[in-house]
Structure 1
Amino acid sequence: MSLLRSSLLVGVGAVASRILGFVRDILFAQVLGAGPVADAFLAAFRLPNLVRRVVAEGGLNPALVPSLTRLEPDEAATMAGNVTLVFGCLLLGIVAVVEVGAGAIGLLVAPGLASQDGVPELVALYTRLAFPAVFGVTLASIGAAFLNVRRRYLAATFAPLVVNGGLILALVAISQGLALAPERQAAWLSVASSVAGLLQLGLIAAALASGEDKPVRFRRPVWSPALKSLLLAGLPALVASGAVQLFVLAGTQVASFWPSGVSWLYYAERVMQLPLGLMAALAASVLLPELASRHRDGGTDAVVVAQNRALALALFLALPAAAALVILAEPISTVLFQRGAFDPQDARGTALVLMGLSAGLPFATAGKVLSQTLFARGSLRGTLLAAVAGIVVTIGGAALLGVLFGMGGIALGISLGCLAHAGAMVFLLRRAGLWRLDREIMGKIAGIGLATIAMGLFLAGLRYLMPEPRIPGLAVLCLGGLAFYAAAAWLFGAVTGRDLALLTKKP
């Protein structure tokens, strides 16, 4: 399958997941608003949703794909079975610990909620009900990695849709058919999250069992150096792959001390995740296996070429997306979320946070792509340290800028964490001799920058003509900006026919 077809398949799945996620979050805002109950639910939902997003975007792939790629198919299938059984036991233990300590763990995510009457108890309840989803989505992600190794992307790409789809059905049923208090509504949504995670696992299991090419073979686990190395790499891989989500989690801890801060940050981050999640899914599912294969073959120059091509694609998507989100932050927040319990003040607060987060989108996307080269080399320690550095910068920046500028400053602190993380990736790649920006890639970046500026001016003009757009107006702004950027990108040389030919070439 060509890189273009693989990328399109994964991209369609990622976009579909984000669209369903938008529908889910619109219903969240309509049903729960942005008050204490919403803060409690979203604080409890943050941890399992973080795990779901990290593993859905291939968070375990950096530990699994390079190791399994180096093995023969039969050996890889046996190793996959051992990994599945061992990880299953570990996950059961983790879920049990969280069920016991749900109160403390939930408030660790949002410590500012501890002072609100009755909210800590809600956080503990919702955490206990929602966290079992982690068992299902993590094992499903492990199974999806096995499918990706065999270049079987269909089930791995579309199985995660069941989580958002299940929550949407639950939200519709709760809001339309059941007259429940907000506290009870949030409780049922937490249960629905766990059920949907187990359904996702069932779909992946069915895909693994189908077909002649069985990626997993279950035997009694045999403890080997290879299995030990792979398991020890799992946690660092999750931390390193979920760097941006961890920066947002650190920002959530600071935001919990602001009224409705947890909710505003959640909704704004969900919008920002559309372009970032698309690039993350492409990087983990398509780029990482290609880089791992090239690294195995010893082609350093080929690795650098693939990395630069992916970086150009990342910036091609991220730079215009960041500019558009800054310009359209207010109408996006108003049109998507301002209804039901979500009032105009909440929409303005969410827009302010979205603008701050959008500033870090290009750095977050670049860091996600550049880390794949280090993952392919098995260099998890460096990527883990880079993620930790980004977390430290996020906490310090969010705390300081939050005092100075409120919730918008907290969002800027998260963007600073993304910048620090991307800078650390460049430093590590330079040390490994894998950072070379030739004249071609620099020319493309310049073309992307010029096209983005042109699109920004075009959108600002349209925004002046439509000061308060509704759904049709927002669609015109988004589609018009996209069409203008595509034309400007071609004009300024950000994308050429040769680029399309390279993408359609089979690896």
Structure 2
Amino acid sequence: MSLIRSSLLVGLGSMASRVLGFVRDVLFAQALGAGPVADAFLAAFRVPNLVRRIVGEGGLNPALVPALGALEPDEAAKTAGDVLAVFGLTLLGLTALVEIGAGLLALILAPGLHDDSETLALVALYTRLSFPIVLCVTLASIGAAILNMRGRFAATALAPLAVNGGLILALVVLEAGLSLPLAQKAAWLAASSSLAGLIQLAFIAAALWNSEIPLVRFRKPRWSPLLKSLLLAGFPVLVASGAVQLFILAATQIASFWPSGVSWLYYAERVMQLPLGLMAALGSSLLLPELARRHQSGDTQAIVAAQNRALEVALLLALPASAALFIIARPMTSVLFERGAFQSSDAEGTALVLMALSVGLPFATAAKVLSQTLFARGSLRAALMAAVLGLVLTLAASLLLAWPLGPTGIALGVSIGCLGHAGAVAIGLRRFGLWSPDRALTARLMRIVVAVLAMSLALLAAMSTIMSAIAQGGALSLAALCLGGLAIYALAAWATGAVTRDDWAVLTKKS
């Protein structure tokens, strides 16, 4: 399969999941608004959603793909069965602990609610109902990594749609057929998320079962050195892969001290995650296996070249997305969320948070791409240290900026953490002699910046004339603004040489 076909399959699946996620969050805002119940639900949903995003974007792939790919098919299938069995038993125990200690976990997730016992109790309830999804999506992610390693991308691209699709269905039923208090609506949604995760796991299990060549063989798990290394690598890999999500989790704890702060941060981050999640899925599913193969062959120059070309593609998407989100944040949050229980003041607060988060989007994207080489090389310590540095910067900057700027300052702290994370990854790679920006990357970046400036000027000019139409609920006007900006950027990118015919030829080569 050519790289472009693989990329399109993974990319379209990821994009479809993100679009469904948008629809889900629009319905969340309509059903729950941005008050105490919404804060409680979103605080409880933060950890399950964090795990779902990390593992759904291939967070365990850096530990699994290089290790299993080096084994013979039969031994790889047995080891994969051992991994699934051990992770399953471990996660069952963890789920039991969470069910018992949900009250303490609720206080950790939302310390700002320590004086509000009623809302804190709701956080605990929703945590108990939603946490089983962690077991399901983690096992599904391991199965997806095994399928990706064998070049089977269809099931792994489509399976994540089950979670968002199931929650959308639950929201439609709750809004259309039932008239329930907000607290009960949130409880049903939390339970629905766990059921949707079970459906996703069943989908992946069916794909593994229907393979012509057995991909998984179950037996009594053997405590082999490989299994031990995979388990020990699991935690640092998840931390390093989900660095941005961890930054958001830390920011959420600080935001819980502000009314509606948790909700504003959640909805803004969901918009920002659309382009970031796409690059994460492409990186873990396509770039990581390619880099792992090149690392095994010892071709350092090929690794550096592959990184630079991947970084070009990532910034080609991330830079215009960052600029567009910053410019049209207010109309976007208004059209997407301002309805039902979600008020105009909530849309304004969410827009300011989104503008602050958009600043860090290019840095978060660059870190996603560059960190794949550390994973392929097995340098988990360097990747972990870079993530820890970013987390420390996020906490320090968020606390410093929160008091004068509120949730907007907290979001700026996240962007500063993304900058520190990307810088630490780049420094680590240069220390290993595995990255240096070449002339092609520098020239392409300059052209991309020119195209982004052209798009930004056009968006700013159009905003003054189209804002009144958008303010009247004009989703079509917002869509026209977005598509117009995209068209101008595409034309400018072609005119400046940021995108050329040779790029398509490279993408369509057989991988």
Q: TM-score, normalised by structure 2?
A: 0.98
Could you tell me which of 459, 479, 483 is aligned with 2:487?
A: 483
Q: Post-superposition shift, 1:117?
A: 4.2
Mapping 1:14-33, distance limit 5 Å: 14-33=14-33
1:364 equivalent in structure 2:
364
Give the alignment of 1:54-203 within 5 angstroms.
54-203=54-203
Q: Does the 8 Å CA contact 1:292/1:377 hold for their aligned counterparts?
A: yes
Following superposition, the deviation at residue 213 of structure 1 comes to 2.2
State the alpha-carbon separation in 1 of the partners of residues 214 and 353 from structure 2.
46
| Paired letter, 2:481 | L
What is the CA-CA distance between 1:200 and the residue it aligns to?
Answer: 0.5
Following superposition, the deviation at residue 500 of structure 1 comes to: 1.3
Q: 1:220-244: CA deviations, max 9, x gaps? A: 2111111111111111111100000
The aligned residue for residue 494 of structure 1 is 498
Which residue of the partner structure matches residue 48 of structure 1? Answer: 48
Gap runs ≥5 in structure 1? none
Q: Give 1:299 deviation, angstroms.
A: 1.1
Assess if the C-alpha contact under 8 Å between 1:394 and 1:414 holds in 2: yes
Q: Find the counterpart in structure 2 of residue 503 from structure 1.
A: 507
1:328-367 per-residue CA deviation (whole Å, 9 max, x = no partner) reads 1000000000000000000000000000000000000000
Give a deviation string over 1:110-168, Cα, whole Å, max 9, x none: 21122224111100000000000101000000000000100100001110100000000
4+ residue runs over 2 A deviation: none
**Structure 2 counterpart of 1:322:** 322
Cα deviation for residue 475 of structure 1 reads 0.4
Residue identity in the other structure for 2:482? C
Give the match's secondary structure for 1:81.
helix
Residue 490 of structure 1: how far off its partner (Å): 1.0
In the TM superposition, residue 208 of structure 1 has moved relative to its aligned partner by 0.3
Task: Please give the residue correspondences for 1:301-450 in structure 2 after superposition, counting only pairs within 5 Å.
Answer: 301-450=301-450
- Letter matched to residue 504 of structure 1: T
What is the rounded CA distance, in whole Å, between the counterparts of 1:499 and 1:26 in structure 2? 36
Amino acid at match of 1:483: A
User: Where do 1:186-335 residues align within 5 Å?
Assistant: 186-335=186-335
CA shift for structure 1 position 76: 1.1
Describe the SS at the equivalent of 1:206: helix
For 1:378, the aligned partner's letter is G
How far, CA to CA, are the matches of 1:141 and 1:239 in structure 2?
15
Residue matched to 1:462: 462
Is the CA contact 1:70–1:296 (under 8 Å) kept in the aligned structure 2?
Answer: no
Separation of aligned partners in 2, 1:350 and 1:288: 34
Matched residues in 2 for 1:343 and 1:443: separation?
A: 45
User: Following the alignment from structure 2 to structure 1, what is the Cα–Cα distance between the partners of residues 114 and 341?
Assistant: 23
User: Secondary structure at 1:467's aligned position in 2?
Assistant: helix
Query: What secondary structure is seen at the aligned counterpart in 2 of 1:45?
Result: helix
| Identity within the alignment, % | 66
Q: Secondary structure at the match of 1:115?
A: coil
Distance in 2, Cα, partners of 1:176 & 1:77: 46
* Cα drift, residue 501 of structure 1: 1.0
Give the letter for the 2:446 counterpart: A
Corresponding residue SS for 2:114: helix
Deviates more, 1:399-408 or 1:349-358: 399-408
Quote the RMSD (CA, aligned, Å). 0.8
Q: Is the 8 A contact 1:69 1:293 kept in 2?
A: no
Work out the CA distance in 1 between the residues paired with 2:105 and 2:258.
20
CA positional deviation for 1:201: 0.4
Q: Which moved more, 1:334-343 or 1:496-505?
A: 496-505
CA distance in 2 between partners of 1:438 and 1:262 (Å): 41
> Which stretch of structure 1 is more off in the superposition, 11-20 or 101-110?
101-110
Per-residue CA distance 1:377-418 (angstroms, 9 max, x = gap) = 011111111111111100110111111211111110000000
Aligned equivalents of 1:114 and 1:351: distance in 2? 27
Letter in 1 for 2:499: V
User: How many residues in Structure 1 have an aligned counterpart in Structure 2?
Assistant: 507
Q: Distance in 2 between matches of 1:241 and 1:146?
A: 18
Q: CA deviation at 1:74?
A: 1.4
Structure 1 residue aligned with 2:478: 474
